[in-house]
Amino acid sequence: MLRLIPKAHDITIGKKGVVFTIGYQCPIVYDEELSNDYMYSMRLLQTHIKNCLGYTVPICKGKKGPQQIYIEVSQDLSEEEYTIVIEENVICIVGGDYAGVLYGIQTLRQMIDNYGAVLPEVIIKDYPDMKHRGFYHDVTRGRIPTLDSLKALADKLSFYKINQLQLYVEHSFLFRDFSEVWRDDTPLTPEEIMELDVYCKKLNIDLVPSIASFGHLYKVLSTKTYAHLCELPNSSEAPFAFFDRQHHHTLDVSNPESMKLVIRMLEEYMPLFSSKYFNLCGDETFDLGKGRSKALADQVGERQIYIDFVHKICEYLIEKGKTPMFWGDVISAFPSAIKELPEETICLNWGYEPNQEDTNAKRLKEAGAKQILCPGVIGWNQLVNASADAYENIKRMCTYAYQYDAIGVLNTDWGDYGHVNHPEFSMVGMIYGAAFSWNKVIPGFESINEDISWIEYRDQTRKFVSIVEQLSKQTKFPWFHIVGYKERKEDKIGDYGSEKLIEDMNEYDILEANKKLTQLIAQLYGILSCMDSTKRPLVKAYVIATEGISLWNEISLAIKDRNTNSDLAARLEYWYHNYKELWRESCKESELYRIGEVIFWYADLLRSF
């Protein structure tokens, strides 16, 4: 059985069986008319053959001949379209352009994973159903990845035919003129951004700049220099809280200095990218019109001051040759206002519920919006992503994207409340989005999980994803409530259900959940020998997260019963030691210390009853 992600549109398996062997002398030959820019994708294939088959095949230019992998471009094919023909004595990949060639090579790589060196007679014709197929990664609210891990992410996105990447930035960039913003962090540097941009380009990935320019400006608006531009006066004096950072810190649009600040940030950040797009964000402006801009809001309306400010940023971006993007959560309440923004503007319409309805997509379509639908990998606020919820959400949002003529899909990976989940855990959801945005025929949940287990994790049992998918379901004390209980006790927020959750804890449910977690850990260890050695380290990451879920389940009971438990406190601290090591494998130090503050608070609490 040929397993491919995304599924190719047209696959014809011949009756002759094995017709071609990739021997150690089999060259990769690309058409002599092609530029040397194509050499990068040839190297991808050469390296994959080396890793999978154990030998390096040569690369050269020339004409089509026997016993070779031949690659060319044809104007008869569309952008990103490709064909693969495997017949006796030759493999031929034809792309409509550089991207088509690259995607043909990515598919051949997956075929080698399926069959090894001996390949069957086959004809594949393939193309994307959706133009923009993106992944959105939060590099602000907890984790800031290393450049190497960002490049590895780009490699994986391209392997699954994703063609756009956005990194969410509030303060996590080394701004030249804003040292107050990043001084206690480990920000991305201009050099790293530019190097990643070049790297992505070779993989046909458009690295789109994305920066908060309206709401969600906690660190910017908590500085001595810019606190006066915050909508809510004196908010910079409040102690840090995860809840507060998510819900406040919106710019005061009535102050002309606010727009000057935004432009200074854009002027410095924009030139680092080759993309023609720019995401200004503009989402969740919860405080707008409730503080310093209240008089203006009372005069013209809260909706109008929102649209006017977004319009100014859009006009500035257009003057600089960029196509603006912005999050559509606010304008979804008054979609007709989309006509007040420049025609080029793209609305990023997000929704993350497993049973997400099509209301906003339909309303924005009827209002004439040019929209991209944005589902989520559902990993924020939990140690392990909820893959079942992610599947349902992404399936629905991709379906709406086709139904309402969206120009693309942007699958999101947020880092709310410290980005506690390991980045690799989001890859299952990322692959769902890649598969469903390339091919509108959406496979069933169990079917695609088996394919991911085999293709991504090289698990011969094809059970890996079905095992890890069950982990989040055993969570009785989620990270959202772990943080919420602490911040409620510190009087940083009002009650949002965390104390009642603990009061309602049932010892039987906790014991059963932890018993199931122990079984799942055993299953993870059990399939190690069935996985490729390069994929095995991920099992350790999942085991650490599983141990964390089990610990927090126990802690919730200890808090409910108010039992001093120094042993449980010590186990939590040892667990955090392992967690830190895992964090540092892929991310800079960034805000790891904030996770530590939560851990230590609970350890002290467990010793104090």
Q: What is the pLDDT of residues 518-575, one digit of tens each?
A: 999 999 999 999 999 999 999 999 999 999 999 999 999 999 999 888 999 999 999 9
Asked if the model's pLDDT at residue 495 lies above 80, the reply is no
Claim: this prediction has a pTM higher than 0.85: yes
The C-alpha atoms of residue 354 and residue 378 are separated, in whole angstroms, by 9
The per-residue pLDDT for 496 is 77
Which amino acid makes up residue 431? I
pLDDT band at 177 (very low <50, low <70, confident <90, very high): confident
The per-residue pLDDT for 599 is 98
Region 87-100: mean pLDDT is 96
Beta bridge partners of 60: 29
| CB distance 517 to 550 below 8 Å | yes
- Tell me the per-residue pLDDT of 263-285, one tens digit each, with 9 for 90 and over: 999 999 999 999 999 999 999 99
604 φ, ψ (degrees, to nearest 5): -65, -40
Region 416-433: mean pLDDT is 97
Give me the sign of the Cα torsion angle 25, 28, 31, 36.
Answer: negative
| CB distance 126 to 103 below 8 Å | yes
Asked if the model's pLDDT at residue 494 lies above 80, the reply is no
Q: For the chain, give the mean pLDDT.
A: 96
The C-alpha atoms of residue 533 and residue 553 are separated, in whole angstroms, by 32
Region 5-31: mean pLDDT is 96
Region 203-232: mean pLDDT is 96
Helices (H), 320-457: 359-366, 387-403, 427-438, 445-455
The per-residue pLDDT for 238 is 86
Beta bridge partners of 413: 137
The per-residue pLDDT for 469 is 97
Counting residues of the chain whose pLDDT is more than 70, the rounded percentage is 100
Residues 6+ away with beta carbon under 8 Å from 138: 167, 168, 380, 413, 414, 415, 419
- Tell me the per-residue pLDDT of 323-376, one tens digit each, with 9 for 90 and over: 999 999 999 999 999 999 999 999 999 999 999 999 999 999 999 999 999 999
Tell me, yes or no, if the two domains 10-126 and 132-359+370-377+404-419 fold the same way: no
| CB distance 477 to 557 below 8 Å | no
Q: What does 498-558 look like in DSSP terms, one character per residue?
A: HHHHHHT--HHHHHHHHHHHHHHHHHHHHTGGGB-TTTTHHHHHHHHHHHHHHHHHHHHHH
Domain 10-126 architecture: 2-Layer Sandwich (3.30)
Distances (CA, A) of 525 to 190, 465, 541: 41, 14, 12
The C-alpha atoms of residue 175 and residue 196 are separated, in whole angstroms, by 17
Residue 572 CA to its chain's centroid (Å): 28
The per-residue pLDDT for 491 is 87
Residues serving a catalytic function are 284
The per-residue pLDDT for 564 is 85
What count of other Cβ atoms lies within 10 Å of the Cβ of residue 270?
17
The per-residue pLDDT for 450 is 98
| CB distance 266 to 259 below 8 Å | no
The C-alpha atoms of residue 553 and residue 550 are separated, in whole angstroms, by 5
- Tell me the per-residue pLDDT of 287-334, one tens digit each, with 9 for 90 and over: 999 999 999 999 999 999 999 999 999 999 999 999 999 999 999 999
Superfamily designation of domain 132-359+370-377+404-419? Glycosidases (3.20.20.80)
| CB distance 19 to 67 below 8 Å | no
Of the candidates 403, 555, 405, which has an alpha carbon nearest to the alpha carbon of residue 477?
Answer: 555
Of the candidates 502, 431, 531, 573, which has an alpha carbon nearest to the alpha carbon of residue 133?
Answer: 431
What's the token pair of residue 34? 């092609």
| CB distance 367 to 298 below 8 Å | no
| CB distance 311 to 342 below 8 Å | yes
Strand order, beta sheet including 90-95: 10-21, 118-126, 82-87, 90-95, 68-73, 28-31, 59-62
**Which stretch of 120-124, 179-183, 474-478 has the lowest confidence by average pLDDT?**
179-183
24 φ, ψ (degrees, to nearest 5): -70, -15
Domain extents for the chain?
Answer: 10-126, 132-359+370-377+404-419, 467-606
The C-alpha atoms of residue 573 and residue 328 are separated, in whole angstroms, by 41
